[in-house]
């Protein structure tokens, strides 16, 4: 009953955030005009384009990316049995950024940047599993450092993609359109059910390899399965919204404090929390005027990754001190 209430409350918050995003903006379209578009009573074509092609896709991308980052974080914490594990510890973000840089340098434009980011993130995930048999956390940090160094070297040689890469490194939902949502939603309908179906296996895996084997679970295969879902979820979210910091850490920990460690409850509540966190942070970021190079013409707004970093850094310090006690 408690989990059901929390889920319903989270869905209500998500609904409120969708409405808040749609009715807010810097264009001449006001809240009343946006409501008329939503109710189908608007006769102004420009208003319909703003709502359906720009404002709604932006909030949908943020909600989906937040859910995927939280899913990745909670699965990584189960696989690594480390409460501080999150997508940034896998090197996936660095792999995505490197893919974007290579794509832009080779093709002289942003065409195919999303595919390149996804491929770069996937390669980082494969390297993580191949090199991290003994310690996934250490391997992830090393892979991320190496890929970031290669990215920096390429940017020194040719600074052309600097502004675009900043969007991936910081994390931003500025200038998200229907095309971005169309590239994201097929992964959402695959990865979220896959994560939910693996909840029981995650419960067994956190007990240790010996206990998992005794319960009929093959630890290596289960670890590979959960790691694959976590890496793909992080790669997809980062490709859509950039390497947004701390969402994959804060959302699972907040959910665990409320519903406990049972992944059958923890995973859905974490994903709802990640959606609410990232979307609310984006709403706050959008209210701050700041030009972001590489985000497109006439687009301003603080990158959402900067907001989540400001929220997450103190939380991480508190969490480390708590774990050290």
For 291, phi then psi, to 5°, come to: -75, 135
**82: three-class secondary structure by DSSP:** coil
Token pair 């590239």 is found at: 183
Distance CA(75)–CA(84), nearest Å, equals 12
Token pair 């296996």 is found at: 201
Q: For residue 291, list its beta bridge partners.
A: 300
Distance CA(13)–CA(277), nearest Å, equals 10
Residue by residue, pLDDT tens for the chain (325 residues) are 678 889 899 999 999 999 888 887 666 676 777 777 777 777 777 777 788 888 889 999 999 999 999 999 999 999 888 888 888 878 887 888 788 788 877 776 656 777 887 888 888 888 888 887 667 778 888 888 898 888 888 877 776 666 666 777 788 888 788 888 998 999 999 999 999 999 999 999 888 888 888 888 888 889 889 988 998 898 889 888 888 888 999 999 999 989 988 999 999 999 999 999 999 999 988 877 555 444 444 445 678 888 898 888 888 787 777 766 6
What are the tokens at 316?
A: 């991480």
User: Hey, what domains does the chain have and what are their CATH numbers?
Assistant: 2-324 (1.10.3470.10)
Nearest CA to 75 among 57, 90, 63? 90
Distance CA(145)–CA(156), nearest Å, equals 16
pLDDT at 294: 47
The DSSP secondary structure of 220-282, one letter per residue, reads: HHHHHHHHHHHHHHHHHHHHHH----SHHHHHHHHHHHHH-S-HHHHHHHHHHHHHHHHHHHH
């Amino acid at each position: 009953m408690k989990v059901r209430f929390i889920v319903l409350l989270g869905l209500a918050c998500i609904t409120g955030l969708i409405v808040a995003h749609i009715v807010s903006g810097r264009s001449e379209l006001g809240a009343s005009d946006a409501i008329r578009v939503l109710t189908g009573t608007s006769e102004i074509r420009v208003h319909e384009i703003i709502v359906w092609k720009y404002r709604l896709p932006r909030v949908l991308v943020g909600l989906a990316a937040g859910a995927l980052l939280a899913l990745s974080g909670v699965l990584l914490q189960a696989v690594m049995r480390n409460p501080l594990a999150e997508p940034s510890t896998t090197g996936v973000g660095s792999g995505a950024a490197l893919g974007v840089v290579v794509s832009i340098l080779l093709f002289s434009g942003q065409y195919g940047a999303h595919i390149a980011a996804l491929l770069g993130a996937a390669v980082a995930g494969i390297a993580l599993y191949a090199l991290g048999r003994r310690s996934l956390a250490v391997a992830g940090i090393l892979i991320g450092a190496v890929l970031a160094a290669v990215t920096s070297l390429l940017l020194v040689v040719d600074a052309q993609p600097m502004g675009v890469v900043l969007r991936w490194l910081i994390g931003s939902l500025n200038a998200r359109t229907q095309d971005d949502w169309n590239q994201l939603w097929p992964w959402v309908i695959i990865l979220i059910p896959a994560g939910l179906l693996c909840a029981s296996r995650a419960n067994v895996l956190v007990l240790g390899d010996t206990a998992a084997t005794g319960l009929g679970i093959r630890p290596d295969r289960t670890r590979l399965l959960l790691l694959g879902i976590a890496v793909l979820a992080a790669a997809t979210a980062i490709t859509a919204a950039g390497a947004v910091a701390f969402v994959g850490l804060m959302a699972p920990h907040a959910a665990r404090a409320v519903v406990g460690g049972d992944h059958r409850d923890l995973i859905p509540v974490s994903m709802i929390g990640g959606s609410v966190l990232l979307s609310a942070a984006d709403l706050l970021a959008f209210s701050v005027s700041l030009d972001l190079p590489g985000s497109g013409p006439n687009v301003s707004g603080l990158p959402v990754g900067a907001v989540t970093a400001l929220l997450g850094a103190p939380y991480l310090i508190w969490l480390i001190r708590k774990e050290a006690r």
